[in-house]
Amino acid sequence: MGSPEIDWVPSGAFFLDLIRRCSVLLLTRLQLVICSRFVKRQDPSSTDFQLNWRKLQQIGLNAYEARSYLVLVGHPRFKALELAARSHVPRQKIYEVLDSLIEKGFAQVVQEKTKLFSAVDPSLAIPGHLARRNKALQNEITEQARLATGLMEDLRGAFEEGQGGRGTLDFLNLVNDPTQTALHYRRMLADATHAYAEFSRPPFAVDPLDEQLVRDAHARNVRCRLLIEAGPIDDQHTVRLNDYRSAGIEIRFLDKLPLKLALFDCKCGLVALLDPVLTRPSWTAVIFEHEGFAEGMGGLFETYWCRGANRS
């Protein structure tokens, strides 16, 4: 007796289920291919991994944090000890590293019960980290400036007491640092009572056209005169020149000035000379408090001032 023949016709539901299963299989394989390629890029021995590892350290992560974050970026989530093994971080250090990454905004806890950790999107983590570092640095600089003010006052008295009187050349002071030159300039300008005159030419330790102290001196009825070496002037400086002139500050131009010079009350000032020896241009400022020298420099200024011309 033969086996009965079974006539079977696949239903539409069968085909739909078959298509669904095939789609899932293809998608799974595609994900595995993509994941394997990404993991390969995040392999600690790969060039890309090493490059990104160094860059993360340059923006403020330490070596363990940078390595752990890169491993997290390449995977959806990790337990702490699994991450330690993958990122080659000592097991006793991994929780400290993860706490730091969470604090810095690079990692997050995605499941409290079993403590799974995942990476924060780099487009959010990195800008947020830099913003927090910038704020911290600004706060640190502000605090240092506050401490420095009191420290300068305390040390200045000790400095003056320790010098034990004036030497034969104490009326001259050589300064090579533009920042210190600017401090001397602003101090003398702030103390001026009746006269301020300057040869102005670049490069500037202090640009007189950007200096509020010049306006303040003029407001104290100090006669302010600027003799500027002629050259291209941008629109912003042109507006400031016109503002100075409108306020009553005297301004003239001359094609060539021999040096940089600023005189205050015919008794002190500074002269800046271009070093002729160095291949890279460098200015050395001579800060002086000597009425005879100031009178001689005043005569030089008047000679060049008479040659200067107004320019609209």
Taking only the tens place, the pLDDT of each residue in 26-41 is: 544 544 444 444 444 4
Is residue 102 located within the same domain as residue 176?
no
Which residue among 126, 141, 159 closes a domain?
126
Contact between 287 and 270 (Cβ < 8 Å): yes
- The CA R_g of the chain, rounded to the nearest whole Å, is 36
CATH number at residue 100: 1.10.10.10
Sheet (strand 107-111) strand order: 78-79, 116-119, 107-111
DSSP 3-state of 135: helix
Is residue 121 located within the same domain as residue 187?
no
The Cα diameter of the chain in Å comes to 138
In a domain, 35, yes or no: no
Per residue in 242-281, pLDDT (tens digit) is 888 888 889 899 988 888 899 999 899 998 877 766 556 6
In a domain, 249, yes or no: yes
Label residues 53-74 b or e (16+ Cβ within 10 Å = b). Answer: beebeeeebeebbbbbbbbbbb
| pLDDT on residue 68 | 92
Contact between 254 and 307 (Cβ < 8 Å): yes
- Domain total for the chain? 2
Is residue 179 located within the same domain as residue 271?
yes
pTM higher than the cut 0.85: no
CB atoms within 10 A of CB 99: 11
Per residue in 139-176, pLDDT (tens digit) is 888 888 888 888 887 787 776 666 665 555 567 778 87
Residue 216's domain comprises 172-307
CATH number at residue 214: 3.30.870.10
